Amino acid sequence: MNFQYWEPQIEKMPRSELEALQLQKLRQEIGYALATPFYRERLGTVGIKNPDDIKTLADLRRIPFTTKNDLRDGFPYGFLSIPKEEVVRLHASSGTTGTPTTIYFSSDDLKRWTNNMARCIFGTGCTKHDVFQNMISYGLFTGGLGLHQGGEAVGMLVIPSGSGNTARQFKLMQDFGTTVVHATPSFLLHVEAKMREVGVKRESLVIKRAFAGAEPYSEDTRRRIESLLNIDVYNSYGLSEMNGPSVAFECQCKNGMHIWEDAYIAEIIDPETLEPVKEGEIGELVLTILCREATPVLRYRSRDLTGFYTEPCPCGRTHRRLRRITGRSDDMLIINGVNVFPSQIEEVIMGMKEVGNNYLIVVEKEGALDRLTVKTEVGPDIFTDDSRPLNALKERIRETLQVSISISPRVELHESGSLPVSEGKAVRVQDKRPKDV
């Protein structure tokens, strides 16, 4: 494979040099942190009063974790470390799990973010010859402007189409010869289903790559999108507290996402004991940003579950790779006492070729018990007067799910296009159980 690097000297930097760079940048970031009301107090409690109190990277572990609630409590300016007149942009999280948090950028912060983003995009093989349609929400959400700026830095022609409006997306793709798109995986599945529905021919498009992120998806979903659309799909990970996209991205090897370790320090902890897990094991990702002066955030508990691949990547980049995020530690559902992650359900149903591109998980109370219903879309051919194939498929989905999650769900099959589609992050779970039970 012909790999291309945006910044080869940093991307392939020997680990010892990379760690020395991390230490230097960590000290600098501690300096920014000490200028914020929140961290002045927090770091003071562990005796960190100036950047030189950090002697080695291991000293990072002296610093208490920062949580989403800390950021919420610090709203609006508790985490701001530069004078307000030096701030040029703010972004906010999507608010998937509650009140959104706000992040500020200086002009240099934006340049660094854009550069990291360009590194990700260039690393997938994109060049200035590409036409990039950014089919994701713009606005406060970081996914839109993040990839937009990175795409421009690479020199691609960027079409800021935003999310939704599939008919217009097809028209733009055809009119301008789109070669690369960015979207949530659920929107890509929706686009593919819509293509078939309205009769847009694959041959009328020249698209060859997609960046898919902002929500969890399984390897089966990636393969499904790749084979249905005949494109390469690259996993993109980020969170607004850490700038947004560009935290970790897949290279052309598509085997895990390189996390840019000159810009972030990543730790994986056991969410119960808060101790580091063994290298390679799955746990909660904790991140420290090293590339933002306006809003330093140290040891942030992302709640995202992942682990490192331990073997080096064939592309030659030395920055470690994260496994696909399977979900957040707080999206676990407890159904009649059994722990279930929505990603386990997705993995089963997206691996079955009869199942369509959209699904919904519903949990309700039925008397004293919890009742799990999995609704999936299926192709039109199965809805005939003969209900046997339909019932057989339902039964097969139910049995396969039962083996995987140890719960027997109710399965409902719906015609394609009939389950709700969200323009932002997909809403895959409806938990209708009363909250106080």
Binding to Zn ion (CB under 5 A) within 234-253 occurs at: 251, 253
Which residue lies nearer to ligand ADP by CB, 215 or 370? Answer: 215
Give min distance, CB of 428 to ligand ADP, in A. Answer: 12
Give min distance, CB of 320 to ligand ADP, in A. Answer: 16
Give min distance, CB of 94 to ligand ADP, in A. Answer: 4
Binding to Zn ion (CB under 5 A) within 289-328 occurs at: 313, 315, 317
Burial grade of 344 (CB within 10 A; 0-12, 13-18, 19 or more):
middle
- Is 173 one of the binding residues for Zn ion (CB under 5 A)? no
Residues 6 or more apart whose CB falls under 8 angstroms from that of 352 comprise: 396, 397, 400
How long is the chain?
A: 437
- What mask of x and - would describe binding to Zn ion in positions 246 to 285, judged by CB under 5 A? -----x-x--------------------------------
Query: What DSSP assignment string belongs to 21-60?
Result: HHHHHHHHHHHHHTTSHHHHHHHHTTT--SGGG--SGGGG
Which residue lies nearer to ligand ADP by CB, 282 or 407? Answer: 282
What is the distance between the alpha carbons of residues 406 and 102, in angstroms, rounded to a whole number?
40
- Is 215 one of the binding residues for ligand ADP (CB under 6 A)? yes
- Is 237 one of the binding residues for ligand ADP (CB under 6 A)? yes
Tell me if 181 sits within 8 A of 156, measured CB to CB: no
Which residue lies nearer to ligand ADP by CB, 305 or 363? Answer: 305
Which residue lies nearer to ligand ADP by CB, 122 or 141? Answer: 141
Helix extents (H) in 388-432: 388-405
Q: Which of 29, 304, 346, 377 binds ligand ADP (CB under 6 A)?
A: 304
Binding to ligand ADP (CB under 6 A) within 254-293 occurs at: none
Give min distance, CB of 286 to ligand ADP, in A. Answer: 12
What is the distance between the alpha carbons of residues 28 and 30, in angstroms, rounded to a whole number?
5
Which residue lies nearer to Zn ion by CB, 251 or 349? Answer: 251
Binding to ligand ADP (CB under 6 A) within 312-331 occurs at: 325, 328
Residue whose entry in the numeric block shows the structure tokens 């993109």 = 236
**Taking CB within 5 to 8 Å according to partner kind, which of Zn ion, ligand ADP, none is near residue 93?**
ligand ADP
Which residue lies nearer to ligand ADP by CB, 172 or 427? Answer: 427
Residue 63 structure tokens: 């610093």
What is the distance between the alpha carbons of residues 221 and 190, in angstroms, rounded to a whole number?
12
Residue 247 structure tokens: 């935290």
Burial grade of 9 (CB within 10 A; 0-12, 13-18, 19 or more):
exposed
Which residues bind to ligand ADP, rule: CB under 6 A?
93-96, 141, 213-216, 235-240, 302, 304, 325, 328
